[in-house]
A and B are shown apart, each in its own frame.
Chain A
Amino acid sequence: MYRYDQYDQNLVDTRVEEFRDQVERRLSGALTEDQFKPLRLMNGLYLQLHAYMLRVAIPYGTLDGRQMHMLATIARKYDRGYGHFTTRQNLQYNWIKLDDAPDILADLATVEMHAIQTSGNCIRNISSDQFAGAAADEVTDPRPWAELLRQWSSFHPEFTYLPRKFKFAVIASDEDRAAMRLHDIGIQIVERDGSFGARIFAGGGMGRTPVIGKEIKDFVPVTNLLSYLEACIRVYNRHGRRDNMYKARIKILINALGVEEYVRQVEAEYAALDKQDIDPPLAEFERIAAYFAPPAFEADAPDTVDRSDPDFALWLDQNVGQHKQPGYAMATISLKPVGGIPGDASADQMDLMADLAERYSFDELRVTHAQNIVLPHVKKADLYALWQALNQAGLAEANLDLISDIIACPGLDYCSLANARSIPIAQKIAERFADAGRQRDLGELKLKISGCINACGHHHAGHIGILGVDRKGTENYQLLLGGSGAEDVSLAKITGPGFDEAGIVDAVETVTNVYLGAREQGERFVDTYRRVGMEPFKEALYG
C-alpha cells in the first residue's frame, strides 16, 4: 500500500487546520453560507436531508486495517455507529455535526486519509478494480498508475474549477470490474512489446445523459501519461460548457465536437505541452510502484479447500475468486444481507473486517463499486476460518453478483437531490428473492437502483435498472433492462411507464420470469435480453 511521505502528510494536515479556521469563521458569522458552502464541499462536507454528510475518499478503494478501524472509530465517536460504502468506493457518514468536522478530518489524517476532492468540480477520487494486485487475469497492478493520477490530480491548480466534476477509473484486465467505460476518462493498462501503457477512453458517464466512453488512444507509456491526460483535460477545461450544468460534462463536449475533432485538439495540445514539466521520471513511478509490491505469499501454500461444510461451499463458489498466486484466493464480503441496507456497515462490522484483514489478508481491504468489501489475499487454508468468523457476524451472505447483491444509492431516505427512495425498494426485492436456491438459479443478475437521474446507483448499467422519479409528489419507479458496466458495456433501456413501490417489485419478478422461460443453456439474464429484445418483457409487463 502507498504510504504518505512528509509532503503528503503536511498537505493533508495543513488542509485540516485551514478547514478548522473556516468552520470557526462560519460559526462565528464571519462567513455566510454562500461563502462557506464551496469551502465545505471541497472538504467533502455536504448538507443532506437530516444532517451534514461527510464523504471520505478511499483512493482506488484500497485501505488497510488501521484505516478501517479508524473509519469504525469515527462512526462510533462522531456519527451514529455506521457508515455507507458508495459506488465510488468511498465512505459516507450521515450524521455529522459541523463543529466535529475538523476533528474528524484530523483523526482521518492520522491514518493518511482525507475527504479532499470528494465533491466539487475537480478530479474526484480515482477508482479501480477491487481485485487489483490479486486478480489472475490482470496484466499488472493498476494501482501504481491510479496513485500516480491521485498525486497529479490532488490540488492540481489548473483543474480545481473544471466545468463539472471529473471521474477516472483505471483497470488492467480485459474483464472490467470498475465500470471503466462509464467514467469521464477510463484507462485500461495494456501490455505491448514487453512494456505497459495506457489505453484511454474518454467521454463516458451515467447521469442524465448516459454515454459509453470512446477509445481515443491505444497506448500511452507511463512516462507520457500525465502530459497526455493534461492535454485531455485542458481541451475540456477550455471548451466544456459552464453555462449549463446539465451539459457541462466531458461526454457532452465530445459528442458536440465529435470524437475525431476532440482527439485532434488533444493531440495539438499534447504536442505543444512542456512534457518534462509534467511527467515524472520513470524512477518516481517505480518508487510509487514499489509500495504495491506483492505481499510475502507462501510459495507452497496448499491449493485445495475442504468443501465438506455445504454452507461454506456455497459461499466459496459465489464469493471467492481466483487469485494470481496459487494457494491464495480473493474473498468478497457481501454488505447485502437480505433485508439490509446495501453498502451500510456498522462500526462493529468495520472493526471485524479490519481484524480479519489483519489476520488473513496481509492487512488489506478493498471497497468495490458494487458496495461490498474484499479481502484480496486470503490463504485458501484460511478460508474456512474466515467464513466462520464472517458467518457469526452476519457477513457471510453468499450472493455476490446475484439478484440480491443490489447496488442502491441512499435515495430519498438521506439524499437532498433524490426523487424517490432506493433502499426500501432494494430491501423488498431482496426479500422477494430471498430464497438462496432461487437466486442461484437466476444466476448473475446485476440490479442497480438510483433515487434520481444523477444515477449514483448506476441504474443505466444494470442488467435490471430502476430509476426513482417524482410523479406529482409521489414516488414512482421506471424499469430499465439490458445495461452493463462490465467489458460487455451497454446502456439499459426503459421498458415503458413506471410503477409504484409495490408494482416495481412485481415488475422485477415478471421480467425474471420471462427470462427463465426464454433462456437458453448458459445464458445470463442480460444475454437472453440481448437475444430476444425488449418485446417479450414489455408484453409481460404491460400486456
Chain B
Amino acid sequence: MKILTGNDLGTGDVVWWTGSDWSRHIEDASDVGDQGEAIAQAEEGARRVNTPYVIDGEMTETGPRPAHIKDRIRALGPTIRPDLTLKPADPEAGNWVI
C-alpha cells in the first residue's frame, strides 16, 4: 500500500493521511494508491502539513505498517523513550519498530 505522511505545520507532529484528514495514529492511515502526490500538493496549499511525502507500507493484522524503519520510528516515537511514544503503556511497542 501507499501511505501519505508529513509533519503538522504548527506542532511538527507526525501525521498520516486518513482519506479525508490527517491523524497522528498510523492505524488511521489509508491507502492513497496513485493519488498521494495530488493530495500532498493540495494539502500543502491548505497549510496544514509540512512537506508531505508518499511511502511504501503494508496492511497487517494490526493495521498499516510503513516499510522503512525510519517511518516506523516516526509512527511510534523515539525507541529509547517509551514514555514519550504514542503507545507509552505498550511494552511491546518498541519491538514493533524492528
Contacts and interface: CB of A to CB of B under 8 A. Distances in A.
Interface of A: 26-29, 33, 47, 49-52, 80, 94-99, 341, 412-414, 416, 418, 421, 423-424, 427, 473-475
A412 B73 contact: yes
A464 B68 CA distance: 29
B50 interface: yes
Closest 5 CB pairs of A and B: A51-B12, A413-B78, A52-B12, A29-B47, A423-B80
Contact of A51 (B13, B68, B79): B13
A98 B11 contact: yes
Contacts of A424: 79-80
A475 B12 CA distance: 25
Contacts of B74: 49-50
A50 B73 CA distance: 9
Interface in B7-45: 7, 9-14, 44
Contact of B69 (A96, A99, A423, A473): A473
B53 to A, nearest CB: 11
A474 B69 contact: yes
Interface of A, secondary structure class, is mixed
A50 B14 contact: yes
Most central of B44, B73, B77 by chain A CB within 10 Å? B73
B44 A33 contact: yes
B79 to A, nearest CB: 6
Interface in B53-97: 67-70, 73-74, 77-81, 84
B6 to A, nearest CB: 10
A270 B87 CA distance: 60
A475 B69 CA distance: 9
A94 B9 CA distance: 16
Contacts of B77: 50
A412 B70 contact: yes
Contact of A98 (B12, B51, B79, B84): B12
B8 to A, nearest CB: 9
Nearest to A474: B69
Contacts of A33: 44, 50-51
A437 B52 CA distance: 51
Contacts of A50: 12-14, 74, 77-78
A341 B81 CA distance: 9
B94 to A, nearest CB: 9
A27 B9 contact: yes
A47 B74 CA distance: 12
Contacts of A99: 10
A47 B10 contact: no
A413 B73 contact: yes
A473 B14 contact: no
A473 B7 contact: no
A98 B9 contact: yes
20 contacts: A27-B9, A47-B7, A50-B13, A50-B77, A50-B78, A51-B11, A51-B13, A52-B12, A80-B84, A94-B78, A95-B12, A96-B12, A99-B10, A341-B81, A412-B69, A412-B73, A416-B70, A423-B78, A427-B80, A473-B68
Contacts of A475: 69
B12 A97 contact: yes
